Amino acid sequence: MSGVCSMDFIGSHILSIDQFERADIDHIFSVARMMEPYAHRHQVTKVLDGAILGNMFFEPSTRTRVSFGCAFNLLGGEVRETTGFENSALAKGESLYDTARVLSGYSDVIAMRHPASGSVAEFASASRVPVINGGDGANEHPTQALLDLYTIEKELKSSGRSLDGLRIGMIGDLKHGRTVHSLAKLLCCYKNINLQLVSPDALQMPGELVELLRSTGHQVTISDNLASSIAHVDIVYSTRIQEERFVSQQEADLYRGKFRLNQSVYTKHCEPNTVIMHPLPRDSRTEANELDSDLNENPNLAIFRQTDNGVVLRMALFALVLDVVNLVDKSAKPVNWYTGSRFQ
Ligand code: NCD
């Protein structure tokens, strides 16, 4: 199926991209491909019948939380969740240790998001079941990076390109954006990457990540010029100003709307098959609008293919961590309801 994994997924926490080598990523992607018929409603599996996901989101989320839940449901499991810091006992002063001891008694696996860097790892160290990081502050968002890379590989394959030699422009708040931090680390598993990092000076990619990319042999250009940076790339990866990480809204507002991509900018500066990505949510308010809705009909806009891929990727991680990969196809049945046209 793939090379020898450095990682034993069974029962493991998924906390950081630091855990993975290239063979591990290949393995996750091969299991994700196996999940596509189930995610696309061509087949049904109940391989996780009886299992419970604790979906613990202590910070705002739509797609990450729901796609973790859907992925678990599509494998036949049940989901219990808590949303928002203020609605949880953490707001009453409970420690992450106590919360982890309690919730891990109720679940077989936990997906967790929390506003503080390192908090998911701290929680995991007290958990009795595997914990998957759904975003810890400005630190990391490993499942988003995996689904992004899975998407990039698929998008490039359709035009004969590959991950080695990838040219990518990352745009926006590269200082606080956990998705770009994890994606930058993930790209270190590949060869000969050309990165254009486009941000205001104050929001540049952390120095240690730039250093890591350069020491891996990748070519990194740091700039605040959108037009020149997106001229020769395979992927434009736009991001939102992470206003919740700034000390004040006024400070965040200084940077909103600085790098706007719309159809006319795309047509003028990008190569014709440049793929447009964004982890979402895109801030569609006029003062920000980093990715204009006039790109919605552009076939190279991959943002909703990314969100679809989030389900298969998270299904793959659950199947690996709970050790049911080999049982999925054995328990498969055809679907017997109308499945719509959303995956055609
Ligand atoms: C991202 C996040 O939460 O880091 N969203 C997501 O999970 N898809 C990006 C963002 O909020 O800007």
Choose the weakest-confidence range: 276-280, 284-288, 333-337, 338-342: 338-342
Indicate whether residue 176 lines ligand 1 (CB < 6 A): no
Task: Choose which residue among 67, 144, 290 to substitute to test ligand 1 binding: the one with the highest number of ligand atoms within 8 A of its C-beta.
Answer: 144
Instruction: Tell me the chain's radius of gyration from C-alpha atoms.
Output: 20
Q: What is the pLDDT of residues 82-91, one digit of tens each?
A: 988 888 888 8
**310: pLDDT strictly greater than 70:** yes
163 DSSP assignment: S
CA–centroid distance, 201 to ligand 1, in Å, is 21
Whole-number average pLDDT of the chain: 96
Do residues 39 and 54 make contact, with C-beta atoms less than 8 angstroms apart? no
Q: Regarding beta strands 219-223 and 167-171, do their DSSP bridges make them parallel or antiparallel, or are they unpaired?
A: unpaired
Nearest to 275 by CA among 163, 149, 168: 168
With 0.95 as the threshold, say if the pTM is over it.
yes
Q: What is the pLDDT of residues 237-283, one digit of tens each?
A: 999 999 999 999 999 999 999 999 999 999 999 999 999 999 999 99
Give me the phi and psi of 290, to 5 degrees please: -70, -25
CA–centroid distance, 64 to ligand 1, in Å, is 8
Cα distance between residue 326 and residue 216, in whole Å: 35
* pLDDT computed for residue 1 by the predictor: 43
Nearest to 237 by CA among 283, 287, 292, 196: 196
Q: How confident is the model at residue 178 (pLDDT cuts 50, 70, 90)?
A: very high
Indicate whether residue 179 lines ligand 1 (CB < 6 A): yes
Q: Other C-beta atoms within 10 Å of 92: how many? A: 6
Q: What is the pLDDT of residues 110-166, one digit of tens each?
A: 999 999 999 999 999 999 999 999 999 999 999 999 999 999 999 999 889 999 999
How many CA atoms lie less than 13 Å away from 215 in the CB half-sphere? 7
Indicate whether residue 113 lines ligand 1 (CB < 6 A): no
Q: How confident is the model at residue 63 (pLDDT cuts 50, 70, 90)?
A: very high
What are the DSSP E strand ranges found in 97-153?
Answer: 109-114, 131-136
Instruction: List C-alpha distances in Å: 275 to 28, 53, 147, 257, 268.
Output: 23, 34, 15, 21, 15
Residue with tokens 């980093």: 290
In this structure, is the dihedral angle defined by the CA atoms of residues 129, 130, 133 and 134, taken in order, positive or negative? Answer: negative
In this structure, is the dihedral angle defined by the CA atoms of residues 152, 157, 159 and 164, taken in order, positive or negative? Answer: positive
Q: What is the pLDDT of residues 277-306, one digit of tens each?
A: 999 999 999 999 999 999 999 999 999 999
Alpha carbon dihedral 261, 267, 269, 272, in 10-degree steps, equals: 110
Indicate whether residue 279 lines ligand 1 (CB < 6 A): yes
In this structure, is the dihedral angle defined by the CA atoms of residues 223, 227, 228 and 234, taken in order, positive or negative? Answer: positive
Task: Choose which residue among 175, 179, 180, 183 to substitute to test ligand 1 binding: the one with the highest number of ligand atoms within 8 A of its C-beta.
Answer: 179
- Please give the structure tokens belonging to residue 245: 């990480």
Share of the chain above pLDDT 70, in %: 99
Task: Choose which residue among 140, 141, 255, 278 to substitute to test ligand 1 binding: the one with the highest number of ligand atoms within 8 A of its C-beta.
Answer: 141
* pLDDT computed for residue 16 by the predictor: 98
Which residue has its alpha carbon closest to ligand 1 atom 7? 64
Question: What does the H/E/C string look like for 237-285?
Answer: EECCCCHHHCCCHHHHHCCCCCCCECHHHHHHHCCCCCEEECCCCCCCC
- Please give the structure tokens belonging to residue 109: 């696996």
Cα distance between residue 110 and residue 125, in whole Å: 13
Indicate whether residue 134 lines ligand 1 (CB < 6 A): no
CA–centroid distance, 278 to ligand 1, in Å, is 9
* pLDDT computed for residue 87 by the predictor: 84
Q: Determine the 3-state secondary structure of 221 from DSSP.
A: strand
Q: Ligand 1: which atom is nearest the Cα of residue 141?
A: 4
CA–centroid distance, 89 to ligand 1, in Å, is 24
